[in-house]
């Protein structure tokens, strides 16, 4: 693969006192990814160098730059996103400085993503509290990216090779879940899953399972009416459009009997209903993908893990898979775009020939 063909993968540093820098360096250290992509870490050369020392990666070098146009395709690049002279790495501590750099690195990375200077973005975990400011007032990455790109309809899509789970409601308190679930929203999320499976993962006729909201999927109204009044009508309507969809299934039995293996994706009603089984089944290789954005964004499926930060105990598997998934989705989207362009070109030629014959 030539340098011009290699995708440029931006990686935001997240909270540098968490395990973000460690899993990033373990993933890219030794230039292990440079054959298939050009990694660009948005953060701080000082912070990266400190973790390089902590992890004893003394023989590995990175290339420090100030802007994306200066990148070196043969090395891992680090963009300094703010003056880092006063930054102090303190693994496990929650500090304002770590929150500020987390935001600055994310902002710079998203700017380059929007302008097409990087192919995809992989975000390391943030602390949802110390990143808050007058310009960042969001529950997490997903909501910030949706707002930045002006895209209302995005889907938190947890993906691995074997299991893919989307959620109807994301970062909401449990007491607000019921009032936010409606037929239109479920239908919208089903459409987003179907579109993403086809566009991003190359699955042309996806099979989708839908979970119920209540215990035992409502037990025919005995334990709640949402299944009968909201979820089943949404499934029926979606199925009438020619889609392959089943449910609602009781969540406990669905995962307990491994029924999820029969489907390409699952739609859960709320955050923990989907993410809890996903992390139990695919924690080491799971990836958080924001479906519905015009650009590709993935992230590892874990948090900052302050308790093991700086101890060389963090597993980089999820970060690696987030990078691989971003590369694959970008490639799938480009191939689909090329096919559609070629198809339009052929149709135009046929129409021109037909008009000439007339």
CA angle (56 as vertex; 51, 57 as ends), nearest 5: 80
Q: Are 67 and 118 in contact (CB under 8 A)?
A: no
Sequence length of the chain is 358
- With a CB cutoff of 8 Å and minimum separation 6, the contacts of 258 are none
Q: pLDDT at position 351, please?
A: 63
Residues of the chain with pLDDT under 50: none
pLDDT in tens, 202-236: 999 999 999 999 999 878 888 889 999 999 999 99
Q: pLDDT at position 103, please?
A: 96
Q: Record the pTM.
A: 0.89
Tokens representing residue 197 in the block: 């499976």
CA-CA-CA-CA dihedral for 186, 187, 191, 193, to nearest 10: 20
CATH of domain 1-151+293-358: 3.40.718.10
Residue range(s) of every CATH 3.40.718.10 domain in the chain: 1-151+293-358, 156-285
Angle between helices 45-54 and 20-28 (to 10 degrees): 80
Angle between helices 317-357 and 20-28 (to 10 degrees): 70
pLDDT in tens, 271-312: 999 999 999 999 888 999 999 999 999 999 899 999 999 999
Determine phi and psi for 39, rounding to 5 degrees: -80, 140
CATH of domain 156-285: 3.40.718.10
Q: pLDDT at position 249, please?
A: 97
CB atoms within 10 A of CB 243: 17
């Amino acid at each position: 693969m030539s340098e011009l063909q290699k995708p440029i993968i931006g990686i935001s540093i997240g909270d540098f006192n968490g395990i973000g820098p460690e899993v990033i360096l373990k993933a890219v250290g030794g230039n292990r990814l440079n054959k298939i992509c050009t990694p660009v870490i948005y953060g701080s050369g000082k912070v990266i160098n400190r973790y390089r020392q902590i992890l004893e990666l003394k023989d590995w070098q990175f290339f420090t730059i100030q802007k994306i146009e200066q990148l070196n395709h043969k090395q891992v690049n680090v963009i300094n996103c703010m003056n880092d002279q006063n930054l102090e790495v303190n693994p496990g501590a929650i500090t304002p400085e770590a929150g500020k750099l987390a935001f600055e690195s994310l902002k710079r990375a998203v700017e380059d993503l929007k302008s097409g200077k990087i192919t995809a973005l992989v975000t390391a975990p943030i602390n949802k509290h110390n990143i808050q400011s007058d310009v960042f007032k969001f529950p997490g990455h997903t909501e910030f990216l949706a707002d930045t790109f002006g895209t209302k309809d995005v889907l938190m899509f947890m993906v691995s090779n074997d299991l893919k789970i989307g959620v109807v409601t994301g970062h909401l308190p449990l007491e607000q879940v019921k009032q936010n679930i409606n037929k239109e929203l479920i239908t919208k999320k089903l459409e987003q899953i179907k579109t993403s499976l086809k566009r991003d993962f190359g699955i042309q006729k996806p099979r989708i399972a839908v979970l119920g909201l209540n215990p035992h999927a409502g037990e025919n109204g005995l334990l709640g009416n949402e299944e009968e009044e909201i979820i089943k009508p949404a499934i029926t309507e979606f199925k009438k459009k020619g889609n392959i969809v089943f449910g609602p299934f009781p969540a406990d039995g669905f995962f307990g009997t491994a029924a999820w293996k029969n489907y390409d994706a699952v739609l859960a009603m709320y955050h923990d209903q989907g993410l809890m089984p996903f992390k139990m089944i695919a924690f080491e290789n799971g990836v958080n993908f924001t479906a519905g954005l015009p650009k590709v964004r993935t992230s590892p499926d874990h948090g900052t893990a302050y308790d093991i930060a700086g101890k060389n105990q963090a597993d980089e598997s999820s970060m690696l898979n987030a990078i691989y998934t971003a590369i694959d989705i970008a490639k799938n989207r480009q191939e689909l775009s090329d096919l559609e362009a070629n198809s339009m070109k052929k149709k135009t030629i046929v129409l021109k020939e037909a008009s000439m014959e007339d």
